[in-house]
Structure 1
Amino acid sequence: MELFQTTNFIAVLIVLVSLSTLIYLAIRTIITDKHFQTGITLYQQKDFPGAEAAFRQVIAINSTNDVVHLLLGDALMQQGKIEAAITEFQDVIERAPKKVDAYLRLAQALMQQQKPQQAVTVLQQAEALFQKQRQVDKAEKIQQLLQKISSAENNA
């Protein structure tokens, strides 16, 4: 009888721990989603400092969300905080080297900093990724952009 009660106690304990974990994760997800939606809304309203704050709150809860890092970088770019945006884009590239959006945003930031050679290198990496992903049309657009940059540099 004592073994049966111990087994029941352990089973109940496991169920309670599991439920507690699920509740915690659900609440965390709801809070994260609320901050994310707030960030998106503020960004669309062109309240970039507010969007930055909301995206930073999401990152504080879940630092591995690459989309939020990209959006934070965009909000930083809109505020002229190019170095901080570059850091966000580079962090995404480090964590997810196949995420082409990070390369494209990084190249844009580098062009704003008047660093066309570095931007070209990043765009070439993006083009190679598009080729590997069999997104030939996007790779061609990058190639056209690279040609325009090269022409502009030659004419300068």
Structure 2
Amino acid sequence: MFNNLQTTNVLSIFVVTIAIILLIYFAVKTLITANLFQQGVSLYQQQDYPGAEAAFRKVININSTNDVVRLFLGDVLKAQDKVAEAQDLYQQVIQRSPKNPEGYLRLANILMLQNQQQEATTNLQKSQELFQKQRQPEKAQRIAQLLEKMSHKLS
């Protein structure tokens, strides 16, 4: 009986130790990711696009599921005239998170630069619809105004 109690205590200590180690690991990983993300945003605001690109790529290497970082990285790439890479990132965001209106909006901007008005319009409409569904009527209204301007230019 004493042996069973000892085994149970050792097992409990082991499980708690593993849980604490995992918590520390994830806390450190989150802290590093947050610091790199903030560094990337700061460098982007300072127009240090290569530095911001490096920071955002590090964040993606640590946390590959973060679509917000992909959007920022796409913006940085676009600012460096790496339009094809930016377009690919925006398409990845849409593929991974089809209800993210920012992916459609940013892709539409790229498509407008490439003079692909019909595809840009389709993406703007999707973005507008999603902003409306997500109760962001101001953004949906701004997109509606842009679509109206675009339709007048095509007329």
Q: 2:102 maps to which residue? A: 101
CA deviation vs aligned residue, 1:48-103 (integer Å, no higher than 9, x gap): 11101100000000011111011001101100111111111111111211211111
Q: 1:125 maps to which residue? A: 126
Give the whole-Å Cα distance in 1 for the aligned partners of 2:131 and 2:46: 32
Contact 1:127 1:143 (C-alpha < 8 Å) held by counterparts = yes
Give the whole-Å Cα distance in 2 for the aligned partners of 1:55 and 1:90: 17
Q: 2:51 maps to which residue? A: 50
Q: 2:82 maps to which residue? A: 81
Give the whole-Å Cα distance in 1 for the aligned partners of 2:132 and 2:32: 38
Distance 1:37 1:139, change over 3 A: closer
Alignment of 1:2-151 (within 5 A): 2-151=3-152
Matched residue count? 154
Give the whole-Å Cα distance in 2 for the aligned partners of 1:36 and 1:65: 11
CA deviation vs aligned residue, 1:6-38 (integer Å, no higher than 9, x gap): 001100100110011011111111211121111
Give the TM-score normalised by the residue count of structure 2: 0.93
1:144 deviation in Å?
A: 1.8
Q: CA RMSD in A?
A: 1.3
1:45 deviation in Å?
A: 0.7
Give the TM-score normalised by the residue count of structure 1: 0.93
Give the whole-Å Cα distance in 1 for the aligned partners of 2:33 and 2:141: 37
SS in 2 for 1:42: helix
Give the whole-Å Cα distance in 2 for the aligned partners of 1:7 and 1:133: 50
Give the whole-Å Cα distance in 2 for the aligned partners of 1:79 and 1:28: 29
Give the whole-Å Cα distance in 2 for the aligned partners of 1:134 and 1:5: 57
Give the whole-Å Cα distance in 1 for the aligned partners of 2:72 and 2:137: 26
SS in 2 for 1:20: helix
% same residue: 52
Moved over 6 A (4+): none
Structure 1 residues 111-120 or 71-80, which shifts more? 111-120
